[in-house]
Amino acid sequence: MALPQDPEKHDFLAVGDTKASSDYDKSYPAPPAEHHDQSVPGCYDPIIDRYTEDEIKRIVRKVDLRLIPLCGLMYCVSLLDRTNLSNAAIAGMTKELNLRTKNPDRYSVITLVFFITYVIAQPPTTILTRFFGPRIWLATITLCWGVTMIGFGFVKDWKALVGLRLILGILESGFFPGVVYLLSTWYRRYEVGRRYSIFYLIGSLASAFGGILAFGLMQMEGIQGYGGWRWIFIVEGCLTCLVALLGYIFLVSFPDNEKSRAIGFLSPEERHLIVARVNQDRGDADLEKFSFKKWLGGASDWKIWAYGLCFGCATTVSYALAYFLPIILNLELGFDTGTAQCLIAPPYVFAGMIMILTGWFGDKYRQRGLCVAFNAMLCIIGLAVMGWAYGDNRARYFGVFFATAGANANVPSVLTYQANNIRGQWKRAFCSATLVGTGALGGIVGSTVFRSEDSPTYIPGLSVAMGSQVVILIAVGVLTMTFKSENKKADRGEKILEDSLPFRYTA
C-alpha cells in the first residue's frame, strides 16, 4: 500500500501520485546516459550536463590530490603519536619508568587512559569541525597534540605519562571523525570506498614504518643526556607540529561552504558540480541548519549502533596489535629490539594491499557487507594461527599477516559501509562521532587484552579478539537481511528509506 503524501512532514512525493511524479520529472530531467550509471533519479542539477565524463573525472581527481594525501598524512601522525608507546617501551621506557608491574599493570593503564577522554570528547568535537571549519579546527588540534607529544619525552615518572595521555585523548578525539565526515561530503556513495582505503592506507604507514623510524631515533641514545625512547617522542612530536602547519595551509573546507578560501583550488562552477553530484547521489550535500534534536535524533536508528559495533570490534584487534605486537615479537618470539621493530612493517604492507583490493571490489560491485565479512574471516584465521601454532615462530609470524590485514582493512570497509547507508548532514556527523567513539571502546579492550601473565601464548587475549570478529560476522548478517528486506518494501512503494524516495541501502 502506498504511503500518503504529507507535505508538512516530508519533502518527497507520494509513491502512488502519478501527476506529482510527472511534475517531478519535468523539474528534474533525467541525466544523460554517460552519467546515469552511478546516479539515482532525484536531486538532479542540469550543471552536470555541461561536463563530459572525462572533465568530471579530472575535477574529482583535483579534489583527490588536494584532500586524500594530506588527510592521510595527518592521520599518519595521529596514529604514530597514539601508538608509539610500544616502540618506546622496548627502547628503554619500560625499564627507566619501572612499568613492568602487575598490580596495576602500568603499561596497560597508560595505554588505556587515552581512550577514556577520547570517547567522552567525541560528540562535541565533531560538531566543532563544522563550526570552525576543517582547516582551522583540524590543524589546530594537530598542532596542540604535537606539542603534547614533545612533552612525553621529558616525563619523570609513569604518572606524568598518564596525565599526558589523557590530554592526548581529548585533542585527538576531534580528528578522525572530523576527517571521516569531511571526506564523506565530497564524494558519492560508490566513490568513497577506495578513497577511505587510500586515506587509511597512508595513515597505516605509521604502523608499518613507525617501528623502523623508532629504531633510527633510538640511536640518539645519550644525546643531551636523554634516552633513545625519549627522542622517539620528541622528534615525532616535532614532525606532528610540521604536518599541522601543512594542514593549516592546504587543508580544504566542506564543498557547500562557497565563501571559504580553503576550496579556492576549484572554480565556483567546479564546486557547484561537486555539490550537484553528491545531491544527485543521495540528496544531502547542502548543509542543514544545526539542530541538536536533529543531530541527536540519529541515536534512535539502531543501524548506527550496529555500524559502531562492527567498528569497535575491528579496532579491538587493530589497537591490540599496534600496542603489543612489538613487545610480543621482542619478548615472546625472541627477536632482538631492532629486528622486532623492523618486522612490524611487512604485515602492514600486506594489510595495505588488502585495503586497496576490498575498496576497489566494493566500489566496483557495490558490495559493502561482503567486504567486511571477508576481512573478519581473514582476521580470525590469522589470530588462530598466532595462538595455536605455539612452538613454530615462523608460523605465528605468518598469522600476524592475516590478523593485521583483516583487522586494519576493516577500518575503511566499515567506514564506507556506514557512509553508504545514511543520509543527512547532521545524522552523518552523529554517526561519525559514534562510530569513532565505539572504535575507541574497542581500543580500550585492545589495550588490555594481551596481559603479561598470559604470555607466551596469550590464549585469553586471542580468544577475545577472535570473538570480536565473530560479532562482526553476526552484525553484518543481520544488517544484510534488514537492508534487503527494506529495499524490497521501498521497491513496492510501501516505505520511504532515509526520507528519500530514490534511496536504497547498500548491502
Question: Is the confidence at residue 28, as pLDDT, over 80?
Answer: no
**Does residue 503 contact residue 43 with C-beta atoms inside 8 Å?**
no
pLDDT, position 77: 94
Q: Is 500 helix (H, G, I), strand (E, B) or coil?
A: strand
Model confidence band, residue 38 (pLDDT cutoffs 50, 70, 90): very low
In angstroms, the CA 314 to CA 374 distance is: 12
pLDDT score at 40: 43
d(CA 338, CA 353): 25
Q: Does pLDDT of 5 surpass 70?
A: no
Q: Residue 153: CB partners within 8 Å, gap ≥ 6?
A: 226, 230, 231, 232, 233, 234, 237
Distant-in-sequence, close-in-space partners of 128: CB < 8 Å, separation ≥ 6:
137, 174
Q: Compute the distance between CA of residue 271 and CA of residue 387 in angstroms, rounded to an integer.
A: 52
pLDDT at 177 over 60: yes
Q: How would residue 100 be classed by pLDDT, with cut points 50, 70 and 90?
A: confident
Confidence check: pLDDT of 226 > 80: yes
> Above pLDDT 70, what percent of the chain?
90
**Cα Dmax for the chain:** 81
pLDDT confidence tier of residue 130, bands split at 50, 70 and 90: confident
Most confident option among 85-94, 162-171, 321-330, 382-391:
162-171
pLDDT confidence of residue 387: 87
C-alpha 115/C-alpha 127 separation (Å) is: 19
CA gap 14, 493 in Å, rounded: 9
Residue 341 is predicted with a pLDDT of 83
Q: Among candidates 125, 382, 149, 429, which has minimal Cα distance to 288?
A: 429
